[in-house]
């Protein structure tokens, strides 16, 4: 991954967290890592624990940000969520898997779409 891509991804995650907080979610973890992978954002949405994958794009040349979450990525995130719950001892009656799509614009703020329960 290039430094530019890392910077774009980090900016997208900051935009996503700001958007989620403004929408009333309470982040509890960011960029949680284990040997199997990473979860971008974990946040409470009322009684529901949301595991959020953030995808940032500056163009649609490779598809929309949300289209980048392919079935294999969704399976991996489910496994990571189970591991996070076990490792932290956190319990939740309901969990949800979201995609936060960040689309950079040429000028002005990024466009953020929070897609709830997409897989």
Residue ranges of the domains in the chain? 3-115
Q: What are phi and psi of 10, to 5 degrees?
A: -65, -40
CA separation for the pair 90, 116 (Å, rounded): 21
Task: For residue 95, give the nearest of 106, 104, 86 by alpha carbon.
Answer: 86
Encode pLDDT of 76-89 as tens digits.
999 999 999 999 99
Span 3-115: which CATH code?
3.40.1350.10
In angstroms, the CA 41 to CA 52 distance is 5
Answer yes or no: pTM beyond 0.85: yes
At 10-51, the pLDDT tens digits run 999 999 999 999 999 999 999 999 999 999 999 999 999 999
């Amino acid at each position: 991954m290039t430094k530019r891509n890392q910077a774009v991804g980090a900016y997208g995650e900051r935009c996503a967290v700001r958007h989620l907080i403004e929408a009333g979610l309470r982040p509890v973890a960011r960029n949680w890592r284990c040997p199997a992978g990473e979860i971008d954002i974990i946040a409470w949405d009322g009684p529901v624990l949301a595991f959020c994958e953030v995808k940032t794009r500056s163009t649609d040349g490779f598809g929309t940000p949300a289209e980048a979450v392919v079935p294999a990525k969704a399976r991996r995130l489910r496994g990571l969520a189970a591991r996070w719950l076990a490792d932290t001892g956190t319990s939740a009656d309901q969990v949800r898997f979201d995609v936060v799509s960040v689309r950079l614009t040429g000028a002005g703020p990024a466009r953020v779409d929070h897609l709830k329960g997409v897989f």
